[in-house]
């Protein structure tokens, strides 16, 4: 039968993620009409619980977009950056670069500030760029999924504001795994998606939009339609989506957010992620030649990146991946573009371990024990 050969792998990649059994079962709940009385049974609790996970930031409206994280990022560019504006896209890796690309392909006046892979945003360099470019808006990544670096959103936003610019944040791979600090950092828009820290399949982008963001968008022309945050907000205020939602995912999201808020608790979830970050950090000390890649003090709670010893290569990491598959795991051999760059510089590659969503500390420990055995075969 079709599907019989679909492998039941434990995903330790950085999205999509392993789904809890209950989330998979919730995929069997009934389809519904998105303008019918059945809709609010799903979307009222979704909107309420998503705000709780965000720390209930005052003055922010949550919006569920169809599409994935990138669609929400693109909506922020289309709706918040006017033709007369200048946007500075700050990048600490591939997803920071993606924001810049979205600004450029949408015809915006965009400049970029890039940091070395593995490093967080340096406030001194950011300040110099703010003085030089005098942007109206600044985009940056809360948690860089390509490098495992987490930025200090509060300090970065404070500096951006001090130079008269407005921040917009991509938080796709951290939301649901750590505090969002929206109230403390006050971005125009804080963007995420379902398939990473929230523990759901891909299919919805999620945004928290400030009053200030709404005011800003009103003065921006050609916002598009599905990328128009004002059209999106009008429906979100009715607990609806602008266009037909994936009903299966809505059912799953309703079940999963209730679990996060009322069973695991938001605080418990954040603690579990911190615990997993320290498990990954302690493990590497037991594996000869391997090191943490991300800058100390800026290591992500949702994924960890590792620098391999000099004898490791991109091809050998592909072998590691296949060996791990044999143990029932999906291993992440690192972000391709970064590893190619490292190879060009004569350096060994990095790899990633995703420990986001509903992976438990004991599952991570089991995985790392198997991975250590496999890695040491190459030494
Ligand atoms: C995954 C990811 C995206 C892209 O999200 P999609 O849902 O794949 O569109 C953007 N930014 C970051 C930081 C990500 O981790």
pLDDT in tens, 245-284: 999 999 999 999 999 999 999 999 999 999 999 999 999 9
Q: Give the tens place of pLDDT for each residue, 280-328.
A: 999 999 999 999 999 999 999 999 999 999 999 999 999 999 999 999 9
CATH architecture assignment, domain 21-262:
3-Layer(aba) Sandwich (3.40)
Which residues are annotated as part of the binding site for substrate?
A: 352
Kindly give the distance from the C-alpha atom of residue 176 to the centroid of ligand 1, in angstroms, as a whole number: 14
Candidate from 173, 198, 202 with most ligand 1 atoms within 8 A of CB, to mutate: 173
Under the banding of pLDDT at 50, 70 and 90, the label for residue 346 is very high
Note whether 167 and 152 are within 8 A (CB): no
**349, 338, 340, 341: which is closest to 378 by C-alpha?**
349
Distance 288 CA to ligand 1 centre (A): 32
Ligand 1 neighbours, Cβ below 6 Å, are 15, 68-70, 95, 141, 145, 170, 172-173, 193, 195-196, 202
Q: Quote the pLDDT of residue 369.
A: 98
Name the residue among 315, 296, 317, 289 with its Cα closest to residue 379.
289
Which whole number is the average pLDDT over 145-157? 98
196 CA from centroid of ligand 1 (Å): 8
- Say how many Å lie between the CA of residue 173 and the centre of ligand 1: 7
- Which residue among 15, 99, 100, 172 is best mutated to probe the pocket of ligand 1, counting the most ligand atoms within 8 A of its Cβ? 172
pLDDT at position 331: 98
Tokens of 221: 């022309």
pLDDT at position 77, please? 98
Instruction: Give the per-residue pLDDT at 221.
Output: 97
The pLDDT score that the predictor gives to residue 293 is: 98
pTM of this prediction? Answer: 0.98
pLDDT band at 362 (very low <50, low <70, confident <90, very high): very high
Helix (H, G, I), strand (E, B) or coil at 198: coil
What's domain 10-14+265-378's architecture? Alpha-Beta Complex (3.90)
Q: What mean pLDDT comes out for the span 138-145?
A: 98
Enumerate the domain spans of the chain.
10-14+265-378, 21-262
Q: Tell which residue, 32, 102, 103, has the closest CA to residue 247.
A: 32
Q: Residue 293: CB partners within 8 Å, gap ≥ 6?
A: 118, 147, 148, 305, 306, 307, 350
């Amino acid at each position: 039968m079709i599907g019989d050969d679909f492998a039941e792998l434990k995903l330790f990649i950085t999205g999509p993620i392993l789904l809890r059994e209950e989330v998979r079962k919730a995929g069997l709940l009934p389809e519904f009409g998105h303008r019918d009385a059945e809709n609010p049974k799903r979307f009222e609790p979704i909107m309420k619980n998503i705000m709780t996970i965000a720390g209930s930031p005052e003055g922010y409206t949550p919006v569920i977009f169809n599409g994935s994280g990138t669609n929400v990022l693109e909506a922020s560019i289309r709706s918040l950056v006017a033709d007369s504006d200048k946007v500075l896209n700050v990048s600490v890796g591939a997803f920071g670069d993606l924001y810049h690309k979205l600004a450029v392909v949408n015809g915006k006046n965009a400049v970029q500030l890039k940091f070395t892979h593995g490093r967080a945003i340096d406030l001194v360099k950011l300040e110099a760029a703010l003085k030089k470019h005098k942007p109206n808006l600044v985009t940056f990544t809360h948690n860089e999924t390509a490098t495992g670096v987490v930025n200090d959103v509060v300090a970065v936003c404070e500096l951006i504001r001090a130079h008269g610019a407005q921040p917009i944040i991509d938080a796709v791979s951290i939301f649901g795994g750590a505090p969002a600090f929206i109230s403390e950092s006050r971005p125009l828009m804080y963007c995420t998606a379902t398939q990473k820290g929230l523990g759901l399949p891909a299919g919805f982008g999620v945004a928290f939009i400030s009053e200030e963001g709404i005011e800003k968008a009103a003065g921006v022309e050609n916002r598009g339609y599905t990328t128009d945050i004002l059209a999106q907000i009008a429906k979100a205020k009715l607990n609806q989506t602008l266009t037909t939602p994936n009903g299966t995912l809505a059912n799953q999201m309703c079940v999963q957010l209730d679990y996060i808020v009322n069973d695991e608790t938001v605080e418990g979830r954040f603690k579990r992620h911190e615990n997993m970050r320290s498990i990954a950090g302690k493990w590497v000390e037991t594996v000869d030649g391997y090191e943490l890649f991300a800058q100390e003090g800026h290591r992500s709670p949702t994924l960890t990146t590792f620098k391999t010893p000099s004898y490791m290569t991109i091809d050998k990491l592909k072998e590691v991946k296949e060996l791990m598959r044999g143990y029932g795991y999906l291993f992440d051999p690192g972000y391709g573009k970064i590893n190619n760059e490292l190879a060009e510089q004569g350096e060994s590659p990095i790899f990633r371990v995703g420990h986001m969503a509903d992976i438990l500390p004991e599952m991570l420990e089991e995985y790392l024990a198997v991975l250590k055995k496999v890695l040491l075969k190459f030494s």
